[in-house]
Amino acid sequence: MALSDKELSAADLRATQRNWVQYSKQHSKNLPPGSITDFEWKDYCPKAFRLIQELDNIDNDDYMMSVCSDETIRKASSTLRPGNLFLLSNDSRFAIKTLRKSQLKVLIEMLPIYYNHLRKFRNTVLNKLYGLHVVKPVGGVKVYFVVVANIFKSDLLMHRCFDLKGSLQGRKVKKMRVREKTLHKESDLDFLFYLEPLVRHRLLAQIKHDCAFLEAVGIMNYSLLLGFHIKESPQGFLDGGSAFCPDSPRRGSVDSRCSYSIDSRNCTTELTFRDHWLQNNSCTSKFGEEMSARGVRISWNGTGSVSTRQISRRRECHDVLLYFGIVDFFQDYGVIKRIEHAYKSLQFDPKMIAAVNPKVYSSRFQAFISDIFKADDSLH
């Protein structure tokens, strides 16, 4: 039976199931095969997350079967650095991120407003949060984690994935790997993405609403998780690679490659591309879920912003499918981040480091998004 949100107050939405549930062999029939049978589990704000699941037609029993696997619980509970582990459920339907206790408190505090934001903006670019839990294997330690939508869930190959904040100054450049996918940083971003002008306008308007929400609840340091699939991808372009293979003997054999300038295009796949826009980017589709775009290769000398990068002399373009969402919005601008801001401001541009107040972060993030998603006037 669906829950009635009209009967729930902000206190109800934040309510925690306080009793630990002890799972043992007698409960094993309710768990997936091979599940850990000796662990304690607690749900935070179950009413709120059940409502969010219902927005996306997710059955809570199926959700628990997906999340409560032996591998997931073992990996989540084995981390030594809370807030730094990112993994996928066994069916790849959900992504799981461990949290620090301070992040958990931030998430619980903003949850009622987040839920209302989801109801108001069904095409939000914010990643969906489906559950907040703490697990404690017998003899182990408590681990807090949030379960979110897997933005990259697709049968298609992701040729490149990015974790983008809009600036690399003061950030660790080490790349993360998730299930054979490398999450690249801003320094590796060598594509701009051209969207149908009206779709771009609506997308940027939605991101403005999303960032206004994050700013209002005092959140900063979030990212755009972006992946793309190249239709009829060129040989040599792989997730771990740096670019297209310039010496590949099959470079000219890819139909989706174009040779054009931004002002005058003679791409042979333009009609096909336009048809895909009509099919895949209707008003009812959600932003970031298999969005058609034209990916144009850019060159970069390692300095400056995305807006200063130039179209590659090779003028490569490809029809691509985009998968993206705003993730990791669990960090407030508290005392620790203020101290970090003061310290890193001595080494970097104070407006370009990650640790800035939510208003500055929101403005910079939106400007960055506007730089990488361009208007494709040929589709106007």
Cα separation of 189 and 171, whole Å? 16
Higher-pLDDT residue of 177, 97? 97
178, 289: one domain? yes
What's the confidence (pLDDT) of residue 25? Answer: 42
Task: Give the percent of the chain with pLDDT over 90.
Answer: 42
What's the confidence (pLDDT) of residue 180? Answer: 65
Mean pLDDT of 21-47: 61
Place of tokens 């993030």: 365
Cα separation of 285 and 323, whole Å? 12
23, 87: one domain? yes
17, 84: one domain? yes
In a domain, 270, yes or no: no
150, 189, 183, 153: which is closest to 304 by C-alpha?
Answer: 189
Q: Is 59 buried (19+), middle (13-18) or exposed (0-12) by CB count in 10 A? A: exposed
In a domain, 136, yes or no: yes
Give 271's pLDDT tier (boundaries 50, 70, 90).
Answer: very low
> The domain containing residue 346 runs over which residues?
151-232+285-379
Cα separation of 329 and 331, whole Å? 6
What's the confidence (pLDDT) of residue 138? Answer: 73
In a domain, 375, yes or no: yes
Give 15's pLDDT tier (boundaries 50, 70, 90).
Answer: low
* Angle CA 286–288–292, to nearest 5: 95
Q: Is the pLDDT of residue 179 over 80?
A: no
- Among left, alpha and beta (phi > 0; psi -120 to 50; other), residue 343 is alpha
Strand locations in 138-215 (E): 143-149, 160-164, 176-178, 181-184, 191-195
Q: Are 239 and 159 in contact (CB under 8 A)?
A: yes
* Strand duo 160-164 + 181-184: pairing: parallel
In a domain, 279, yes or no: no
Of the ranges 16-20, 40-44, 103-107, which is most confident? 103-107
Residue at which a domain ends, from 87, 120, 150:
150
29, 41: one domain? yes
What's the confidence (pLDDT) of residue 246? Answer: 34
Higher-pLDDT residue of 44, 138? 44
pLDDT tens figures, 36-46: 456 778 889 99
Task: Supply the CATH number for residue 338's domain.
Answer: 3.30.810.10
pLDDT tens figures, 76-86: 777 666 666 78
124, 115, 131: which is closest to 59 by C-alpha?
Answer: 131
Q: Are 158 and 239 in contact (CB under 8 A)?
A: yes
Task: Supply the CATH number for residue 12's domain.
Answer: 3.30.800.10
Cα separation of 218 and 324, whole Å? 23
120, 192: one domain? no
Q: Is the pLDDT of residue 235 over 80?
A: no
178, 112: one domain? no
Residue at which a domain ends, from 150, 165, 195:
150
146, 194: one domain? no
Looking at the 3D structure of the chain, how many domains does it have? 2
Q: Is the pLDDT of residue 346 over 60?
A: yes
Lowest mean pLDDT among 54-58, 109-113, 262-266: 262-266
Q: What share of the chain is helix, strand, coil (3-state, %, to 5)?
A: 35, 25, 40
131, 204: one domain? no
| Residues in Cβ contact with 291 at an 8 Å cutoff, skipping those fewer than 6 apart | 195, 199, 280, 281, 285, 321, 322, 323, 324
In terms of residues, how long is the chain? 380
In a domain, 303, yes or no: yes
Q: Would the pTM of this model clear 0.85, i.e. be above it?
A: no
